[in-house]
Chains A and B, each alone.
Chain A
């Protein structure tokens, strides 16, 4: 972790145990929270638009007493291909995972093309990843190329 990031870390209180999702694209923290689906007994701290040496600006998410599952990590990549997930136990990082965009994104994004069949019939959306960072995906149905700033969660 770079010095700039360490400074940013200090902007948010330390976590005893749980998960830290760092380096989300700015403005994506709330979407990430929605995507993870926080259980009722967990607490979340959100950092929005924090300064970052690596990204300029970033969002961060701290989830107390809650460890996110590997399949959720994959889904998070849609909200920030540079994001990392740290698992914390007793104030110590026990594992750090770099998110990786899967080759195919299913049932996660809505196609922004109003004429796409997926916006009219009950069809599970599917996007093939054409390029990683900045992410570019192609709708499996209408074949439109969609950039990450157009991503809309289902």
Chain B
């Protein structure tokens, strides 16, 4: 097997330390990384841009998707295939032994015999941690209910790093459904850990849950809450937009009002400060008008692209293929 990534300079001492620490480990939660480790990790990810050598030739990724997912699953599969490995797995819990009453941990003890590294998405919170404890294989959390989606957070941070050259000391606006949106929750926490200022823009019914605000306070984060985008927009470096789902509203009229008030179009984003970028975890529905797509500020399709780069790096790191 080739001994390392060909792109970039040799690893720095700090990078080597992280590479060593991540070999054979799991990626369960963004909380497992210290802020300096997150920055170092993003530097390593950069080495996985574009074509990479077949670092994982002959290795098998087990993709256990107990809950539907298109983007995350395809992105992991693409990353594994691009590193020369192969993928087995399922994308529907209905076809697994879980329907026969098998526990998650038993499933893992079986599946670990078939593959070298495992990615799991599961509707229960904490499922990825439980899975990781049941197997000696590295496990990556591909989303555990409303809890964590660390690879999404890392690709969001990587996108910010690539566009703005840093992931600290920024003012980051979050817009839309901050109550239920997992991607926003995870990034809010990581952004706070990294020392960014946060502006949380949401209708009163979709504000960040109070326990999440307590977590921010515990991190010593600087944040503001508002329901108006207008005055916020010209002040932020990043606008992270999330989807507002109709089923969250009892009254369809309330939904219409909120949806219209939080829709972003080209005219809106042009009022942003110079260099401001617009992000979205996707899929979008109406929150971002297609007229924004051609704007240099639009970074959401890049996020999807960066997702593969980040996941390549993570798989290679966990498999000890980076040297």
Contacts and interface: CB of A to CB of B under 8 A. Distances in A.
Interface stretch (A20-28, A46-54, A113-121): A113-121
Interface in A101-154: 113, 115-118, 120-123, 139-145
Contact of A117 (B29, B31, B126): B126
Contact of B215 (A116, A118, A122, A145): A145
Nearest to B189: A143
A116 B214 contact: no
Which secondary structure characterizes the binding site on chain A? loop
A142 B127 CA distance: 8
B100 interface: no
A139 to B, nearest CB: 7
B125 A121 contact: no
B147 A142 contact: yes
Given A143-B29, A143-B147, A117 B127 contact: yes
Contacts of B130: 117-118, 121, 123, 141
Contacts, number: 54
B258 to A, nearest CB: 25
Contact of A116 (B29, B103, B126): B126
A143 B212 CA distance: 11
Contacts of A116: 124-126
Contact of B31 (A121, A123, A143): A143
A144 B103 contact: no
Which secondary structure characterizes the binding site on chain B? mixed
Nearest to B148: A143
Contact of A115 (B103, B125, B214, B215): B125
B257 interface: no
Nearest to B123: A115
A141 B124 CA distance: 10
Interface in B89-108: 103-105
Contacts of B103: 121-122
Interface string B17-32: 0000000000001010
A121 B211 contact: no
B211 A115 contact: no
A144 B211 contact: yes
Contact of B145 (A115, A121, A122, A139): A115
19 contacts: A115-B124, A115-B145, A115-B146, A117-B124, A117-B127, A121-B103, A121-B105, A122-B103, A123-B105, A139-B126, A140-B126, A140-B129, A141-B129, A141-B130, A142-B126, A142-B144, A142-B147, A144-B125, A145-B214
Interface of A: 113, 115-118, 120-123, 139-145
Interface of B: 29, 31, 103-105, 122-127, 129-130, 144-148, 211, 214-215
Given A140-B129, A143-B126, A143-B148, 8 more contacts: A117-B127, A122-B103, A139-B126, A140-B126, A141-B127, A142-B126, A143-B31, A143-B125
